[in-house]
């Protein structure tokens, strides 16, 4: 941007900034904090624009709540944009010295943010003027799409500048040096302070890099794209780390430049109940999944042999998952408290499942619960594949959950015919997956989203399909190998070791009843003649308290 434009604009800083209800006056180059209340439209006014200014960009930034920036008081689908980092570009008409734009809250909540007006001359490139992908006619915004591993930014190509009232240059008629194809795009990256998710830190960072000079001084130039390149760049995601991305378009012939609207991301969600920015790296999460991983490794290789331990682990997992969803959706407790309450209830659930088998001896009833665990994991895996990306599952929760429940309920039916084999397969598959989740607590892996996507559908009413878009990288193929090797090894070992044993261990309570009945009816059994326990205890007490007689001779000798 030409420096001579700022000379008359700096004179405006001395004026008193007037603010009225539903109306905010912006001074060019000066940030203004704005709070948009519920059902309120704030008018952003820019006045006394110098005639040298050919176009103006208004950018508005919030931390995680959407704000709508529009050309009209009532936002429409074309002349408005709703985002956390939104910006509009206005090409000025001859003689125009003022303009008005409008801010509103699309979700009915109070939105607080910071905004700034940046003016540009006719020689500066126009960001987003050759837009053919996004909704705005001239779109100066940088769009961010992130997943677990990658953060992708996209922007619309720019065009050459023009005087007020002139017809813009054609975008794609030719690729000569006199057209917009000579423009170059510098991609900048600016890191916010580590472990700082505060709104104040974000606004300070945005204000430091909003214009060209600030970004060049404080940001890091990552790459330079030519007009013949695709207008996109891909970066590594760092969950929980705030990053501001911006694009500066340069005209090497005229030595002018203009800045797109910076956008920020934390590679995590502020509104998601799970894997949100506030729960990343929680000690409670690491402890929970570390213990779960060790228990899963034991179940994988010894679950069927130690049947009571397996039942406890399965009952614990089933109850913990169910009540975590219930407690999180019905209460306002924090994440650590929800996890603690769910663990306590999970312990109760595991004990109840073990006691039901101990008391009633119904193996099939317990195997149904075990089969549901395997069915849950299989259904989650099926819908984790590209099959789950079909529009019919994304648009209709009813279709998704009906399909999920059908797959989940079919699996236990096979356990009726092959109960021991089904139980051992469940031990191998579910136990090995618990190990994968334990590794995910320290090293991110996409396999955790097999179950996490289902849990997020339970917890989030407005679940976005974007969360399911996770790529497979080297760590994921390694963890798939670990999952398969552990699962197959556990199943083969248990099937070989249990081949000559009974299908399931007998119920201890039923064995005790049979033993008691046998003692009553079998008179030849020495245990049948044993006195009752009370008599035996009383006899023992008498032996301990009775004075011992001397062993001397008391009878007279016989002659």
State pLDDT tens for residues 7-52.
Answer: 443 333 333 343 445 888 888 888 989 998 877 889 999 888 898 9
| Chain centroid offset of residue 248 CA | 31
Q: pLDDT band at 465, cuts 50/70/90?
A: very low
* Interatomic CA distance for residues 297 and 398, integer angstroms: 35
The most distant pair of C-alpha atoms in the chain lies apart, rounded to whole Å, by 154
* Interatomic CA distance for residues 265 and 533, integer angstroms: 73
**Closest C-alpha to 251, from 13, 446, 514, 2:** 2
What's the predicted TM-score (pTM) here?
Answer: 0.63
Q: pLDDT band at 61, cuts 50/70/90?
A: very high
Residue 1 has a pLDDT of 47
**Radius of gyration, CA atoms only, the chain:** 35
| The pLDDT of residue 363 is above 50 | yes
Q: pLDDT band at 549, cuts 50/70/90?
A: low
Q: pLDDT band at 77, cuts 50/70/90?
A: low
Q: What angle do CA 199, 200, 206 make, to 5 degrees?
A: 90
Tokens matching residue 199: 């709104």
Residue 238 has a pLDDT of 78
**Closest C-alpha to 153, from 68, 7, 267:** 267
pLDDT in tens, 108-156: 788 999 999 999 999 999 999 999 888 889 999 999 988 766 788 999 9
pLDDT in tens, 192-235: 987 788 899 999 999 999 889 999 999 989 889 999 899 998 88
pLDDT in tens, 376-435: 999 999 988 878 777 788 777 888 899 999 999 998 888 878 888 888 999 999 999 999
Residue 246 has a pLDDT of 94
| The pLDDT of residue 522 is above 70 | no
Residues whose CB is less than 8 angstroms from the CB of residue 298 and which lie 6 or more positions away in sequence, other chains included: 306, 309, 431
Cα-based distances in Å from 360 to 21, 118, 353, 420, 465: 72, 76, 11, 19, 45
- 271 phi and psi, to 5 degrees? -110, -10
Say which DSSP state 182 is in: G
């Amino acid at each position: 941007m030409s420096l001579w434009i700022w000379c008359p604009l700096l004179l405006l800083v001395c004026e008193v900034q007037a603010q009225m209800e539903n109306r905010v006056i912006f001074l060019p180059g000066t940030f203004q904090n704005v709070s948009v209340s519920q059902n309120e439209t704030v008018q952003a006014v820019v006045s006394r624009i110098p005639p040298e200014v050919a176009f103006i960009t208004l950018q508005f930034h919030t931390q995680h709540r959407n704000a709508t920036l529009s050309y009209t008081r009532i936002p429409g689908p074309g002349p408005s944009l709703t985002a956390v980092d939104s910006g509009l570009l206005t090409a000025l008409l001859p003689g125009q010295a003022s303009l008005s734009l409008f801010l509103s809250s699309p979700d009915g909540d109070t939105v607080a943010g910071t905004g700034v007006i940046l003016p540009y001359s006719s020689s500066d490139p126009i960001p987003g003027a050759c837009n053919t992908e996004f909704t705005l006619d001239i779109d100066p915004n940088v769009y961010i799409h992130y997943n677990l591993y990658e953060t992708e930014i996209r922007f619309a190509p720019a065009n050459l500048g023009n005087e007020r009232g002139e017809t813009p240059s054609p975008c794609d008629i030719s690729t000569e040096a006199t057209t917009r194809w000579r423009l170059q795009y510098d991609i900048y990256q600016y890191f916010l302070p580590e472990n700082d998710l505060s709104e104040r830190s974000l606004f300070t960072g945005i204000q430091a890099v909003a214009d060209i000079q600030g970004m060049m001084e404080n940001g890091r130039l990552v790459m330079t794209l030519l007009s013949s390149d695709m207008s996109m760049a891909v970066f590594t995601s760092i969950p929980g780390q705030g990053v501001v991305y911006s694009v500066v378009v340069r005209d090497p012939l005229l030595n002018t430049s203009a800045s797109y609207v910076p956008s920020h991301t934390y590679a995590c969600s502020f509104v998601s109940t799970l894997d949100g920015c506030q729960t990343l790296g929680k000690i409670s999460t690491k402890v929970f999944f570390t213990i779960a991983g060790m228990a899963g490794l034991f179940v994988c290789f010894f679950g069927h042999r130690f049947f009571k331990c397996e039942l406890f682990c399965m009952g614990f997992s089933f109850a913990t998952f169910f009540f975590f969803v219930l407690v999180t959706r019905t209460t306002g407790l924090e994440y650590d408290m929800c996890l603690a309450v769910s663990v306590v209830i999970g312990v109760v659930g595991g004990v109840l499942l073990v006691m039901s088998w101990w008391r009633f001896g119904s193996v099939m009833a317990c195997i149904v619960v075990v089969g549901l665990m395997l069915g849950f994991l299989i259904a989650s895996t099926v819908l984790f594949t590209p099959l789950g990306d079909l529009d019919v599952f994304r648009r209709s929760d009813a279709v998704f959950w009906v399909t999920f429940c059908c797959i989940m309920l079919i699996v236990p039916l096979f356990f009726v015919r092959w109960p021991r084999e089904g139980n051992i397969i469940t031990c191998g598959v579910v136990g090995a997956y618990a190990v994968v989740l334990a590794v995910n607590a320290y090293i991110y892996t996409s396999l955790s989203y097999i179950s996490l996507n289902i849990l997020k559908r339970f917890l989030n009413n407005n679940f976005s399909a974007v969360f399911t878009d996770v790529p497979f990288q080297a760590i994921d193929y390694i963890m798939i190998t670990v999952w398969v090797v552990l699962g197959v090894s556990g199943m083969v070992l248990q099937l070989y070791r249990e081949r000559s044993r009974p299908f399931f261990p007998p119920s201890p309570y039923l064995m005790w009843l049979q033993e008691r009945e046998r003692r009553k009816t079998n008179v030849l059994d020495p245990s049948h003649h044993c006195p009752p326990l009370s008599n035996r205890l009383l006899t023992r007490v008498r032996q301990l308290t009775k004075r011992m007689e001397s062993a001397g001779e008391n009878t007279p000798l016989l002659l």
